[in-house]
Amino acid sequence: MHKTRSTLVFLSPWLVSFGIFWVFPLVFSLVLSFLRFNPLRPDTTQIVWLSNFATAFKDPLFWKSLTNTLVFVLGTVPVTTVVAFFLAVAINQRIPLRTLYRSGFFVPSIISVVVISIIFKQFYSPLGLVNKVVQLFGGEPKSWLGEPRTALLCIMAMDVWASFGYYTILFLAGLQAIPSETYEAARIDGSGFWGTLRFVTVPMVRPITLFIVVINTIRSFQIFIEIFVMTRGAPLNSTLTSVFYLYDRAFYRFEMGYASAVAYLLFIVILCFSLAQMRYLRMGRAAGE
């Protein structure tokens, strides 16, 4: 009994902060999703039950933001994962300056996303570095963030550059946990580089691959800072993502109930994606692929 009380005393700071900053906002936003609530007019609060969810399903902007978010996730997560994996394999070899490569790849991960977004916004401007390179090869300069066809692609490219270094380090940790005897056995059996990569390395790093894919997918679904700094959903809503959309409805239009409903719909989408990824990758592991 005394030991239990001591444990609770030591855990109490974490439990209190967890309750205040995680459980309470989660429950409060769930309650808000069933209300029509304007913080500037609390006297007009009404219980609308599932009306906010129904409104979201009929709202073209909600579907536009969700579509843009899915394009962002499907366009960045596979590219980031593949690039990070092969870079980790490369710098896991005995090559000169590999410590420098590891540090260099990881540097973008420790820079503020706001700073990276401001720098890339300058790169993509009509007088920026990207247009200088395009003109060098005889192309026509353009406003990369000002055209609907290129704005989201530019932000996706920046996201891949900013995040692959972090996942490279995670893959590298997974590769270094593989026993060297496994590679020796594969070499004795006559396996080449690609055979060893396919039948030894890839199955052995499947747990870290699952971790990387799931957290990268969740992070990509929550893309916000880059959009807020670089385009704010423009041009013509071509970069409007789900989190920026609910932020706009909550803090510019003060539709807290509707924004909470959109947040829970996004939560359900992320949950479905995460469960599907875990099921697929674990099935592959069970089959010994």
Structural contact between residues 29 and 261, judged by C-beta atoms closer than 8 angstroms = no
The structure's pTM equals 0.92
Residue 207 and residue 284: Cα distance in Å, rounded?
Answer: 11
Q: Which residues contact 144 (CB under 8 A, 6 or more apart)?
A: 124, 128, 130, 131, 150, 151, 154
Instruction: Give the lowest-confidence range in 119-128, 146-155, 161-170, 187-196.
Output: 187-196
Average pLDDT over residues 91-106: 86
pLDDT: which is higher, 72 or 139: 72
Tell me the average pLDDT across 79-88: 96
Q: What percent of the chain has pLDDT over 70?
A: 97
The pLDDT of residue 286 is 54
Residue 93 has pLDDT above 90, yes or no: no
**What is the predicted pLDDT for the residue at 284?**
56
Q: What DSSP string runs through 149-191?
A: HHHHHHHHHHHHHHHHHHHHHHHHHHHHTS-HHHHHHHHHTT-
Would the pLDDT of 50 be above 60?
yes
